[in-house]
Amino acid sequence: MPVISVIGAQWGDEGKGKIVDLLAEKAMMVIRFSGGDNAGHTIVNNQGKFVLHLVPSGIFYPHTTCIIGNGVALNLAALLREMDDLKSKGVNDFSRLYISDRTNLIMPYHLLQEQLEEKALGPKAIGTTGKGIGPAFTDKVARYGVRAGDLLNPHYFRQRLNQVMELKNRIIVKAYGADALSVDKVYDEFMRYGERLNSHIKDTLMMVDEALKKDEPIMLEGAQGTLLDPDFGTYPFCTSSSPMGIVGAGIGPIHMKRVYGIFKAYCTRVGNGPMPTDLKDSTGDKLREIAGEYGATTGRPRRCGWFDGVAARYSNRVNGFTGAIVTRLDILDTFPKLKICTAYKIDGKTIEYFPADISVLERCEPVYEELPGWMTPIGDIREYSRLPINARRYIRRVEELCGCRAKIISVGASREQTIFRGDIY
Ligand code: GDP
Ligand code: IMO
Ligand code: MG
């Protein structure tokens, strides 16, 4: 039975939250498998408007089990704040929310270390979300991580903290000249989190296995986007976990039925790093203002630009999407002329691939093709055939460039503002 993954195909913020909330209606389980509270997934549904950072976007359905998977870096304080915020808006039932005992925790020293590192980088800073993501994933692979399951065994947790914080404090004091953190304080703080969250920490792999055996539909909720992947993205201007990796859910590839790549109908990026179609002009400003392109996590203005067909094809190539989901098509309603980037120009040569070297990518000039706009609101349209001909022409060109069919087209933030093209499960 279907395991469906929803993967950001650009630089994040493609609309994953909306799509997962929509498709989770038929899912028995939704798993967040990467990233952390650097993610900001906006959902507009019959219960209100929400921005989720850690809680999987299936939480609005009473039948859906929500799992924070082993591939996430989890800030427990942020999770508790998010749960309290949801409760204040009437979303009360967290009995189906589980945390994998293998999930690495974001610790106070990760937040501090990231601040110090970004400051030390000065003008070369990555422009992170400041959530401690990089240091937490670094410690995970360096084997200095502290995991959610450790909280269930306070004696072991204390030993682990003593060992790890000895090392972390040496770095904080000696390399950055900052003050050491108190092991006692961190221990007490995490024991308090444990009081509220321990009952949610489980060996979730057993739950996933059971769901697979029962043939229940499972959705994997991606965070960030492919072009922020540490391998495939614009390294080192990227995040620190793979936005594509099913490893973070504990599900083997044999179970994967659909892999949907979410593409915004144009491009955005928050933070630093190359983005060939970045529009630093009034058209970029118009896109940002119409679309309200401000970070859901940090509130920073997002850089906006035309759809990048080279990056999109590359994204499909490294993911192997079984279909595309195109979001925010309605944002283009008032543009008389639309541009799509079909190739890059560099040193007088035209290239159609996405360079690994960011010093090359930074010098790439987009080669644009111009398409006519449709100049009419499309937010109320629910059938593909009713879209204006120029909107369909735009979608066809996006499909050609990506190399996969658009199975869903989103024309507004709410659940119902969606056009389906055939069965997506
Ligand atoms: P995510 O991180 O991929 O979940 O995306 P964000 O939530 O950060 O940003 C996407 C924004 O677009 C949110 O404000 C959504 O409510 C909104 N959104 C999603 N799909 C559409 C759409 O088709 N049209 C419009 N106008 N807004 C959309
Ligand atoms: P969602 O899931 C957009 C960006 C940051 C920065 C870089 C590294 O909402 O699509 P990090 O804090 O991860 O170390 O920052 O990655 N970034 C995102 N950009 N959407 C996101 O998540 C992002 N998560 C991280 O802006 O450039
Ligand atoms: Mg977002």
Per-residue pLDDT tens over the stretch 403-414: 999 999 999 999
Cβ of 13 less than 6 Å from ligand 2? yes
Neighbour tally for 22: CB within 10 Å: 24
Sequence-distant (≥ 6) Cβ neighbours of residue 216 within 8 angstroms: 1, 28, 29
Tally helices (H) and strands (E) across the chain.
11, 20
What is the rounded distance in angstroms from the CA atom of residue 355 to the CA atom of residue 357? 5
Neighbour tally for 173: CB within 10 Å: 13
Residue 313, token pair as written in the block = 């094809």
Distance 287 CA to ligand 1 centre (A): 13
> Which residue type sits at 38?
N
Residue 98's SS3 state is strand
**Which of 380, 376, 385 lies closest to 414 in space, CA to CA?**
380
**Which of 157, 161, 139 lies closest to 148 in space, CA to CA?**
157
Residue 254, token pair as written in the block = 């044999």
Neighbour tally for 93: CB within 10 Å: 11
Q: Are 268 and 303 in contact (CB under 8 A)?
A: yes
DSSP H or E run through 319: helix 309-319
The reply to whether 150 belongs to the active site is no
Q: Are 258 and 424 in contact (CB under 8 A)?
A: yes
**Which residue out of 13, 21, 150, 229 is catalytically annotated?**
13
Sequence-distant (≥ 6) Cβ neighbours of residue 351 within 8 angstroms: 310, 343, 344, 345, 364
Residue 3 — φ and ψ, nearest 5°? -105, 125
Q: Which residue, by CA, sits nearest to atom 6 of ligand 2?
A: 128
- Tokens 């924070």 found at: 68
- Tokens 């589980």 found at: 98
Residue 12 CA, closest ligand 2 atom number? 10
DSSP H or E run through 305: strand 303-305
Query: Tell me, what's the pLDDT at 296?
Result: 85
The reply to whether 278 belongs to the active site is no
**Dihedral angle sign, alpha carbons of residues 337, 271, 9, 276:** positive
Q: How many angstroms separate the most distant Cα atoms in the chain?
A: 66
What is the rounded distance in angstroms from the CA atom of residue 12 to the CA atom of residue 132? 18
Sequence-distant (≥ 6) Cβ neighbours of residue 177 within 8 angstroms: none
Q: Are 210 and 160 in contact (CB under 8 A)?
A: no
Residue 173 — φ and ψ, nearest 5°? -75, -50
pTM equals 0.97
Q: Which ligand is nearest to the CA of 239?
A: 2
Residue 40, token pair as written in the block = 């900001």
Query: Tell me, what's the pLDDT at 1?
Result: 59
Residue 233, token pair as written in the block = 């993205």
Pocket test for ligand 1, best of 5, 19, 42 (most atoms within 8 A of CB): 42
DSSP H or E run through 358: helix 358-361
**Dihedral angle sign, alpha carbons of residues 189, 192, 193, 199:** positive
Please report, for residues 55, 112, 133, 139, 312, the alpha-carbon distance to residue 136 in angstroms, rounded to integers and kept in the order given.
Answer: 19, 11, 5, 5, 29
Print pLDDT tens along the chain (425 aa): 589 999 999 999 999 999 999 999 999 999 999 999 999 999 999 999 999 999 999 999 999 999 999 999 999 999 999 999 999 999 999 999 999 999 999 999 999 999 999 999 999 999 999 999 999 999 999 999 999 999 999 999 999 999 999 999 999 999 989 999 999 999 999 999 999 999 999 999 999 999 999 999 999 999 999 999 999 999 999 999 999 978 889 999 999 999 999 999 999 999 999 999 999 999 999 999 999 999 988 899 999 999 999 999 999 999 999 999 999 999 999 999 999 999 999 999 999 999 999 999 999 999 999 999 999 999 999 999 999 999 999 999 999 999 999 999 999 999 999 999 999 98
Query: Tell me, what's the pLDDT at 297?
Result: 86
